[in-house]
Structure 1
Amino acid sequence: MSTSTLTTGLGQRLVSASTDAAAFTALPIISLARLNGSLDDRKALAAEIQDAAVNTGFMYIADHGVAQEVIDAAFDQAKQFFAQPTDKKMLVRDAESFRGFAPLKGENVDPAARGDIHEAWDMGDDAQVMKEGSNHGNVWPPADDLPDFKPTLQKTWDEIMALGKRLFPLFALALGLDEHYFDDKLRRPGHTMRVLYYPPQFGEIDARELGIGAHTDYECFTLLLQHGDTQALQVLNSAGEWVIAPPVPGTFVLNIADMLQRMSNGLFRSTVHRAINRSGVSRYSLPFFFGLDYDAEVAVIPSCVTPDRPALYEPVKAGDYVEQRLAETYIKSDPAQEVEAAA
């Protein structure tokens, strides 16, 4: 198996250089039905999440409470948005704040690659800013063009946000902490939601030009909705091989991200993943990235440190870490070049 080196925010990792992937059979499906139960129920559920966080860093979650009609409406609006002409989509772009539209090859998550083969539209909380003095908010398409886009995506944000808030106490329990441990770090959290469009790739695929290149996510954890039955998500297993994580109806994919790996002193795995759309049809997905307040300190939890396992990571402010990783991801160019690249 030929390998390449990938630089992430948590250091370098060896990954398979192949663009092929095997069927994945090991991702657990975890039901959240006990989330409304007793503390013992929640601790048992947290133990399942802990096992997946340690062993794969990826899992499916079922019985999550987000209505299917909310999900379907979001993807319907995504299709309408990305079907617009490129010059119209470029009018709702704010690259400085990482909000609004990102064109084809406007991002490059793998520094060794040449640009990601997808388009995106990004939103966050208007009350949250990465830097003091920044006034950037969400950039919505005009209501005259897409009258249902803003209310639909805002509804989707609210529903998935409510789910994520219920998951933070489970992660606290999974780390052996009081379930309210994260409460004072989530007053104005740095969360981001994206809708993504991946055109199909045909023929021989260059590993430097994928739907989204090999990467880890930056925040605490990600909830991902995959539309329909289009397979594209690939996860790097412990043997360094790519495996397909196909859509499972009625579930989100949940994956651990960099901040939880840092806080857990490497016990929880922020797993490398990528997307290649070989399906022959358009692929849409919706990831929601859950972070902490940008002024919160991301530091190794003392209980995760032992004489045999000293702290692996220095403390860092959450906002500084996310800003650094985003700046490394987004390709800087002038608008004319971006339109040309997206054409």
Structure 2
Amino acid sequence: MHDLQANTRNLDRHDQAARRLDFSEIPQVDIAGLRGGDPAAAAAVGAALAEAMETVGFVYVTGHGMPGSQLDATFEAMARYFERPEAEKAGLDIHKLARHRGYVPFEGLHADPHEGGADLQEAFELGLELPADDPDYLAGNMMYGPNVWPERPAEFRPVLSSYLDGVHAIGRLLFHGIALGLGLPKDWFDDKIGKPMIQLRAIHYPQQPPREVDGRHIGIGAHSDYECFTILAASQPGLQVRNRRGEWIDAPPLPGAFIINIGDCMERWTNGRLVSTVHRVINRSGAERYSLAFFFGADYEATIECLPTCQGPDNPPKYPPVKAGDWTTSNIKAAYTYRASEDARR
């Protein structure tokens, strides 16, 4: 059973040599069949997604419907934001806001809590856009409520908001595909993601020359994601995936594709059938690296317990039920310094 307070797996971050493999080592699936009205086409996509997620845990997806121009515009808006003065960005520092929104400065995240070094990145956190009178927000729920937005650059809010809406819609399609691949009705997850804990993390990784790479201080340390799944886009290579032999495999961006990976919550939900795979980022690209990590979690009050098609007499549930909100917030507390500093003040 995973420890809710320390979910990240303890791996050796000091072994930085990645073996470069063909892209086919990470499967590629065209999900256009989920966007039409053909049940057979949708079922075929579901089966392909399930196979990739059972064997690798990572998959490139095409046919998602988002134009490349939208992604380019989003990276451009991010670059202009992260170029702003530090004092300006600090106005929306997540440590001041004390909820999961806003600017995360360098040293603000330790994705691998088993190592002493902070991750070499800065980021901006967005979530499901809700009104200021949302009852969960008013009750102090850190995962819900309105987003905060920088005033400059002016295009940051409309561009990032549009991207957030687009990738959210793609994520709902993927939930349909996953359900079909698991032998469930297409809409099985729909009532568990009515008010989901979605998080869009817009990330800037500075250049890190090889001679300066320290295994305790890389772009993001070895970890597995803790939500249901992640939809990732990146401007430069740097992502590495740990295979079952313990080797680090490069997973560079593929034009026109998102990288999808299963998170720990979905691994629990499927009784280990879908695999949450450990990964990390080292930016040796020679350029500034920007990435958009969209984490799709279930509703805060949703119960994560073994799916009916993922258990049987010879395959009993491996994990006890857990409330999705407890799972997510406990993992955030273990990784983000703003949560640790808040707890210390109490």
TM-score strictly above 0.5: yes
CA contact 1:56–1:271 (8 Å) conserved in 2:
yes
2: CA distance between counterparts of 1:76 and 1:8?
Answer: 36
Q: Which amino acid aligns with 1:212?
A: I
1: CA distance between counterparts of 2:263 and 2:206?
Answer: 26
CA contact 1:130–1:294 (8 Å) conserved in 2:
no
320-329 vs 307-316, which moves further: 307-316
2: CA distance between counterparts of 1:104 and 1:199?
Answer: 10
Q: Which amino acid aligns with 1:134?
A: G
1:186 aligns with 2:188: no
1:204, distance to aligned residue in structure 2 (A): 4.5
Give the direction of change, closer, same or farther, for the CA distance of 1:218–1:287 in structure 2 (3 Å limit).
same
How many residues are aligned here? 326
1:259, distance to aligned residue in structure 2 (A): 1.3
1: CA distance between counterparts of 2:62 and 2:196?
Answer: 24
Partner of 1:133: 139
CA contact 1:7–1:110 (8 Å) conserved in 2:
no
1:1-343 to 2 correspondences below 5 Å: 12=9, 14=11, 17-25=14-22, 26-35=25-34, 36-95=36-95, 96-113=98-115, 114-127=117-130, 133-134=139-140, 136-142=145-151, 145-202=152-209, 203-227=211-235, 230-332=236-338
1: CA distance between counterparts of 2:185 and 2:247?
Answer: 36
CA contact 1:200–1:277 (8 Å) conserved in 2:
yes
Deviation per CA, 1:37-78, whole angstroms, max 9, x where unpaired?
A: 411111111110011001000010012101122111111110
1: CA distance between counterparts of 2:49 and 2:321?
Answer: 25
Give the direction of change, closer, same or farther, for the CA distance of 1:132–1:320 in structure 2 (3 Å limit).
farther
2: CA distance between counterparts of 1:16 and 1:161?
Answer: 32
Deviation per CA, 1:160-192, whole angstroms, max 9, x where unpaired?
A: 111111111111111111111111111111101
Give the direction of change, closer, same or farther, for the CA distance of 1:243–1:146 in structure 2 (3 Å limit).
same
1:330, distance to aligned residue in structure 2 (A): 0.5
Give the direction of change, closer, same or farther, for the CA distance of 1:11–1:109 in structure 2 (3 Å limit).
closer
Deviation per CA, 1:72-130, whole angstroms, max 9, x where unpaired?
A: 11111100110011111110123321211001121001012210000000101132787
2: CA distance between counterparts of 1:260 and 1:130?
Answer: 24
What secondary structure, in the 3-state scheme, does the structure 2 residue paired with 1:80 have?
Answer: helix
CA contact 2:13–2:215 (8 Å) conserved in 1:
no
Q: Which amino acid aligns with 1:123?
A: L
What secondary structure, in the 3-state scheme, does the structure 2 residue paired with 1:60 have?
Answer: strand
Q: CA RMSD in A?
A: 2.2
2: CA distance between counterparts of 1:130 and 1:198?
Answer: 33
Q: Which amino acid aligns with 1:31?
A: D
Q: Which amino acid aligns with 1:40?
A: A
2: CA distance between counterparts of 1:184 and 1:132?
Answer: 23
What secondary structure, in the 3-state scheme, does the structure 2 residue paired with 1:46 have?
Answer: helix
2: CA distance between counterparts of 1:47 and 1:209?
Answer: 39
What secondary structure, in the 3-state scheme, does the structure 2 residue paired with 1:311 have?
Answer: coil
1: CA distance between counterparts of 2:77 and 2:319?
Answer: 41
2: CA distance between counterparts of 1:130 and 1:115?
Answer: 31
CA contact 1:16–1:242 (8 Å) conserved in 2:
no
CA contact 2:124–2:203 (8 Å) conserved in 1:
yes
2: CA distance between counterparts of 1:125 and 1:11?
Answer: 25
1: CA distance between counterparts of 2:108 and 2:114?
Answer: 15
167-176 vs 90-99, which moves further: 90-99
Q: Which amino acid aligns with 1:27?
A: I
Q: Which amino acid aligns with 1:211?
A: G
Deviation per CA, 1:126-181, whole angstroms, max 9, x where unpaired?
A: 32787760275312101xx3211111111111111111111111111111111111
Structure 2 residue ranges without an equivalent (≥5): none
Give the TM-score of the pair, scaled to structure 2: 0.89
Percent identity of the aligned residues?
A: 38
1: CA distance between counterparts of 2:214 and 2:312?
Answer: 43
2: CA distance between counterparts of 1:334 and 1:326?
Answer: 12
CA contact 1:221–1:291 (8 Å) conserved in 2:
yes
1:247, distance to aligned residue in structure 2 (A): 1.0
